[in-house]
Amino acid sequence: MSMAIDYKDYYKILGVPKTATDKDIKAAYRKLARQHHPDVNAGDKSAEDKFKDVGEAYDVLGDADKRAKYDQFGDQWKAYGSGGPTGGGGGAYQGDVNFGGFGAGGIDDFLSSLFGGAAGGGAAGGFGGFSQPSGRTRQTPRQVREDVEYPVEISLEEAFAGTTKSFTLSVPDTCGRCGGSGAVSSGKNKPCSMCAGTGKVKGNRGLFANNVCPQCGGTGQEVEVCPECHGDGTVIKKRRLTDIKIPAGVPDGQRIRLAGQGANGGDLYLKVIVRAHPQYERQGIDLYTDFVVPYTVAALGGEAPVETLSGRKVLNVPAGTQTGQTFRMGGLGMPDIKKKGTSGVLFARAKISVPKELSVRERDLLTELAKIRKDSVKA
Strand pairing report for 255-258 and 211-212: unpaired
User: What residue type is 299 in one-letter code?
Assistant: A
Domain positions in the chain: 281-373
40 vs 360, higher pLDDT: 360
The pLDDT score that the predictor gives to residue 352 is: 96
Cα 293 to Cα 321: distance, rounded to the nearest angstrom: 9
Query: What pLDDT, on a 0 to 100 scale, did the predictor assign at position 39?
Result: 64
User: What DSSP designation does 63 have?
Assistant: S
Q: In this predicted structure, what is the pLDDT of residue 80?
A: 56
Question: Can you tell me the distance from the alpha carbon of 173 to that of 229, in angstroms, rounded to the nearest whole number?
Answer: 10
Q: How far apart are the first and last CA of the chain?
A: 111
Task: Output the known binding site for Zn(2+).
Answer: 175, 178, 192, 195, 213, 216, 226, 229
**Order of strands across the sheet with 148-154?**
148-154, 268-274, 255-258
Q: How far apart are CA 179 and CA 216, in angstroms?
A: 14
Q: Determine the residue type at 238.
A: K
In angstroms, rounded to a whole number, what is the distance separating the alpha carbons of residues 207 and 201? 10
Q: In this predicted model, what pLDDT tens digit does every residue of 247-299 receive, in sequence order?
A: 999 999 999 999 988 877 788 899 999 999 999 999 999 999 999 999 999 99
Per-residue confidence band for 317, with pLDDT thresholds at 50, 70 and 90:
very high
Q: How far, in Å, CA of 264 to CA of 350, rounded? A: 55
Residue 334: which H helix or E strand, with range?
A: strand 326-335
**Number of helical H runs and strand E runs in the chain:** 8, 17
Q: From the annotation, which residues make up the binding site?
A: 175, 178, 192, 195, 213, 216, 226, 229
Residue-wise pLDDT tens digits, 183-201: 787 667 788 877 888 888 7
Within 13 Å, how many C-alpha atoms sit on residue 76's CB side? Answer: 3
Name which residue leads in pLDDT, 210 or 247: 247
Q: Which runs of E-coded beta strand occur in the chain?
A: 3-4, 92-93, 148-154, 163-174, 183-185, 200-201, 211-212, 223-225, 234-246, 255-258, 268-274, 281-283, 286-294, 302-308, 311-317, 326-335, 343-353
DSSP for residue 372: H
Contacts of 25 (CB under 8 A, 6+ apart): 14, 16, 58, 61, 62
**Residue 143: per-residue pLDDT:** 57
Reply yes or no on whether the pLDDT at 20 is more than 50.
Answer: yes
Q: Note the helical H segments in 74-106.
A: none
Q: Between the CA of residue 292 and those of 72, 212, 314, 324, what are the distances in Å?
A: 60, 80, 12, 10
CATH number of 281-373, picked from 3.40.1410.10, 2.60.260.20, 2.40.50.1070, 3.40.920.10: 2.60.260.20
Give the closest residue to 176 by CA, choosing from 236, 123, 119, 136. 236
**pLDDT reported for residue 347:** 98
Nearest-5° Cα angle at 299, 297 to 302:
30
